């Protein structure tokens, strides 16, 4: 288990994320006091939040996380002519 300050973590975030993914536990410190334990999802124990549990299942390949798309306003379709219900009734006769 290694320790890293917030400033160092911010400057080299990719490196420390790679270490955590490989199974190493990192203690993040703020002014020399430990504030966060950072570890990869594959080795995390006692995961309590819903997001963390879903992420852990996704890492294990059991679940797939939803992909969020930017919501766009959809214009309603404008259909001319007879209603579909009337056409169906006419074809049944």
Q: Give one DSSP letter per residue of the chain, joined into a string.
A: -EEEEHHHHHHTHHHHHHHHHTT--EEEEETTEEEEEE--TTT--S--SHHHHHHHHHHHTS--PPPP----PPPPP---SS-HHHHHHHHH-
Yes or no: domain 2-68 corresponds to CATH 2.40.50.140? no
Q: Where are the domains of the chain?
A: 2-68
pTM of the model: 0.54
> Residue 92 corresponds to which tokens in the numbers above?
């049944």
For 30-85, what is each residue's pLDDT tens digit?
A: 888 888 888 887 777 776 777 777 777 777 788 887 776 656 677 777 878 888 88
């Amino acid at each position: 288990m290694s320790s890293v300050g917030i400033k160092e973590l911010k400057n080299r975030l990719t490196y420390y994320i790679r270490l955590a993914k490989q199974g190493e536990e990192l203690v993040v410190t703020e002014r020399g006091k430990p504030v966060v334990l950072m570890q990869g999802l594959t080795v995390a124990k006692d995961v309590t939040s819903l997001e963390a549990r879903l992420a852990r299942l996704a890492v294990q390949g059991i679940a797939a996380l939803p992909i969020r798309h930017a919501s766009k306003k959809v214009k309603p379709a404008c259909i001319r002519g007879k209603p579909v219900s009337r056409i169906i009734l006419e074809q049944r006769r």
